[in-house]
């Protein structure tokens, strides 16, 4: 249910922070966050900082298919990855079709407490209306709206007033 809510929020947002949490990654393990971008292209900005423990942590953005290969211990691809260290940042564009994840990988023999931040930015769709109207267009929309409103009120008044006067 929570995943559905997150996906719906992301579907209607133009930009936003997906994750800003602290995770504990056990020694020689990894964890992932589903980006939930669906069929929309997105700019992924991810960064991490090790608060305690390992200094061999890295981030990787990969397709969900590659995550399954990683889970099975097979060769897998990555879209973008950081170098292992105590902190890092990556920015990459993910394009559909496909599902993507961000993997936090700890390949050290010590656990790591990691602060992870992931931000998604969705570019406007081709042919979409501009987010803001120019002042002239705003004035035009307001004037046309007022004119339509007063025309409807006048027409309704003319139709309703004679029966009321009788």
Q: Length of the chain, please?
A: 166
Q: Which helix (H) or strand (E) holds 148?
A: helix 135-165
- Which of the two residues, 131 and 51, has the higher pLDDT score? 51
- The structural domains of the chain, with segments of one domain joined by +, span 2-121, 132-166
**CATH homologous superfamily for 2-121?**
GOLD domain (2.60.120.680)
DSSP letters, 17-52, are: EEEEEEEEE-TTEEEEEE---TTS-EEEEEEEEEEE
Structural contact between residues 59 and 144, judged by C-beta atoms closer than 8 angstroms: no
Mean pLDDT calculated for residue range 12-28: 79
Residues 85 and 57: their CA atoms lie apart, in Å, by 5
What digits encode the pLDDT tens for the residues 126-154? 555 556 778 888 899 999 999 999 999 99
What digits encode the pLDDT tens for the residues 74-121? 888 888 899 999 999 999 888 876 788 899 998 888 899 999 999 988
What digits encode the pLDDT tens for the residues 150-166? 999 999 989 888 887 77
Average pLDDT of the chain? 82
Does the pLDDT at position 10 exceed 60? no
Residues 117 and 119: their CA atoms lie apart, in Å, by 7
């Amino acid at each position: 249910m929570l995943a559905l809510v997150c996906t719906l929020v992301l579907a209607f947002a133009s930009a936003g922070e997906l994750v800003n949490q602290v995770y504990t990654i056990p020694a020689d393990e990894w964890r992932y966050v589903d980006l939930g971008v669906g069929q929309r292209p997105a700019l992924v900005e991810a960064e991490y900082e090790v608060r305690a423990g390992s200094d061999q942590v890295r981030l990787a953005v990969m397709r969900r298919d590659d995550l399954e290969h990683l889970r099975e211990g097979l060769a897998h691809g990555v879209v973008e990855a950081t170098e292992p260290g105590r902190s890092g940042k990556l920015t990459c564009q993910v394009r559909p079709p496909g599902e993507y994840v961000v993997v936090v990988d700890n390949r050290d023999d010590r656990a790591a407490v990691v602060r992870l931040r992931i931000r998604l930015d969705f570019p406007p769709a081709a042919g979409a209306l501009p987010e803001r109207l120019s002042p002239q267009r705003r004035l035009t929309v307001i004037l046309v709206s007022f004119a339509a409103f007063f025309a409807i009120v006048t027409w309704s008044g003319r139709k309703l007033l004679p029966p009321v006067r009788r």
